[in-house]
Amino acid sequence: MEKSEATAIDVPETSRESKGKAPLLSAPAAVQHTAAPRYKRGVAIFDLILRISAATAALGATVAMGTTEETLPFFTQFFQFQASYDDLTTFSFFVIAMAIVTSYLVLSIPFSIVCIVRPLATGPRLLLIICDTLAVTLATSAAGAAAAIVYLAHNGNSSANWLAICQQFTDFCQRASGAVVGAFVAVALMIFLVLLSAIALRKR
Amino acid sequence: MEKSEATAIDVPETSRESKGKAPLLSAPAAVQHTAAPRYKRGVAIFDLILRISAATAALGATVAMGTTEETLPFFTQFFQFQASYDDLTTFSFFVIAMAIVTSYLVLSIPFSIVCIVRPLATGPRLLLIICDTLAVTLATSAAGAAAAIVYLAHNGNSSANWLAICQQFTDFCQRASGAVVGAFVAVALMIFLVLLSAIALRKR
């Protein structure tokens, strides 16, 4: 029982200290809601960190796929074996889609900072969750499509008589696989972004 | 000018009628919040309709892809040309993923009804938006992967020496394409579901 009493004494002291230190900044918000802004500000900071991580992962995936090409060291008299990402339409779509997603994520950072400065504003948060949802579906479709092609390149398909090109173009395939993994990491981070925004929007 | 006056007289009559008819049902909610529950209940009903439509589209896509097979009418002495959806791993993934999404959408209908009955409860709505986000990414990855394979089946790829199998298996390809379109319709409806839940969660 002594411990719970000690806790009960500690809590008002802490809140009194913070009230004494920053009365000018948080005074208007603290009148209406005491606990909500601090909790929402934490969510907004975590949102910014996740957003930067997702942008980095998406940028990595874009660059990795966009620079994927391989020229085999042997050639015949008429033909040199060469593979580039834009030989496959799906990989071109992947690069374009992930570049759009990266640009969006970078451009959305100011809105995320607005959410940190004004944790109770629902306008920027609603805008972010709508655009995040669209961006996550774009990134997921690009990642899924590229994954299907990478799987086909690795394993081939005997029914359709499609050969596994990865037996020749080893580096090309490894790089494309890495780009797909990066894209799925970005997708996972962006799912967290959407869920975080949903939790922050919730009426408490 | 006579016409607009006639309209202005009609409108109050209609709203007076509806007020007179349903005072017993909406009385407890109307004490605390006058406009919010009716607006939120409308959103919840729209959510249920969208959910049923998305489940129907997802079911259609699953069944269309799951029954896709074609046997060509000519055969050699040793081999009969036959194509089925499970010859391609991506199409098997598509069927499984869309079956999961369909089951989830059907099972989530009771939660959507709970949101209609209690429009101010945020718990079921938060659960729905989290599961919806996961379901929409699963459906999008399946649709994107299948679209990449269908594109390849239609057009082939000269760089990788993959032939367009749709020149032989016409019905097979048309059916698979239809399933992909159905899946993207389901994805679009589910994006609206997520956005609708986000708007309903917003603190007013």
Q: Where are the beta strands (DSSP E) in B20-101?
A: 69-75, 80-84
Interacting residues of A85 by C-beta distance below 8 A, sequence separation 6+: A65, A66, A68, A69, A91, A92, A94, A95, A176
Q: Is the pLDDT of residue B146 over 60?
A: yes
Set of chain B residues whose Cβ sits within 8 Å of the Cβ of A204: 203
Chain A residues with CB-CB distance to B under 8 A? Answer: 83, 87-90, 122, 126, 129-130, 133-134, 136-137, 140-149, 151-153, 155, 157, 159-163, 165, 187, 191, 194-195, 197-199, 201-204
Q: Decide which of B95 and A168 is more confident.
A: B95
Q: pLDDT category, B162, cuts 50, 70, 90? A: confident
* pTM exceeding the 0.90 threshold for the entire prediction: no
CB contact under 8 A, B145 and A140: no
Is pLDDT of A8 > 80? no
Distance from CA of A175 to the nearest CA of B (A): 17
The predicted complex's ipTM stands at 0.76
pLDDT at A11 over 60: no
Enumerate the domain spans of chain A. Answer: 35-66+87-201
Of the candidates B141, B162, B163, which has its C-beta nearest A143's C-beta?
B141
Q: Which chain A residue's Cα is nearest to B191? A: A133
3-state secondary structure of A81: strand
> Which carries the bigger pLDDT value, residue B4 or residue A104?
A104
Smallest CA–CA distance from B155 into chain A, residue: A89
The H or E element that residue A72 is part of is strand A69-75
pLDDT exceeds cutoff 50 at A174: yes
Report the candidate in B164, B198, B197, B165 with the shortest Cα–Cα distance to residue B84.
B165
Name the interface residues of B facing A (CB cutoff 8 Å).
83, 87-90, 122, 126, 129-130, 133-134, 136-137, 140-149, 151-153, 155, 157, 159-163, 165, 187, 191, 194-195, 197-199, 201-204
**What's the CA gap between B31 and B101, in Å, rounded?**
39
| B chain contacts of residue A151, beta-carbon cutoff 8 Å | 89-90
Q: What is the SS3 assignment for A162?
A: strand
Q: Looking at residues B68-85, what average pLDDT do you find?
A: 72
DSSP string, A163-176: --GGGT-HHHHHHH
Query: Residue A201: which of B141, B152, B201 has the nearest Cβ?
Result: B201
Instruction: Label the pairing between strands A80-84 and B69-75.
Output: unpaired
pLDDT tens, A52-91? 999 999 999 999 999 888 877 766 666 666 778 888 889 9
Percent of chain A, pLDDT > 90? 42
Which CATH fold topology does A35-66+87-201 show? Four Helix Bundle (Hemerythrin (Met), subunit A) (1.20.120)
Measuring CA to CA, which residue among A189, A98, A112 is closest to residue A146? Answer: A98
Query: pLDDT at residue B39 above 70?
Result: yes
Neighbours of B73 (CB within 10 A): 7
pLDDT digits (tens, 9 = 90+) for B108-122: 999 999 988 888 888
What are the structure tokens assigned to A100, written together?
Answer: 């759009």
C-alpha span between A155 and A93 (Å, rounded): 22
Q: What average pLDDT score do residues A33-40 get?
A: 67
User: What is the nearest CA distance from B1 to chain A, expressed in angstroms?
Assistant: 40
Mean pLDDT of A134-158: 92
From the CA of A119, how many Å to the nearest CA of chain B? 12
Chain A nearest C-alpha distance from B132 (Å)? 10
Among A133, A202, A204, beta carbon nearest to B194: A133
Task: pLDDT band for A186, please (50, 70, 90 cuts).
Answer: very high
- Chain A, chain B: beta-carbon pairs less than 8 Å apart: 133
Which of the four pLDDT bands, split at 50, 70 and 90, describes residue A93? very high
Span B92-107, average pLDDT: 95
Measure A160 CA to nearest chain B CA, in Å. 7
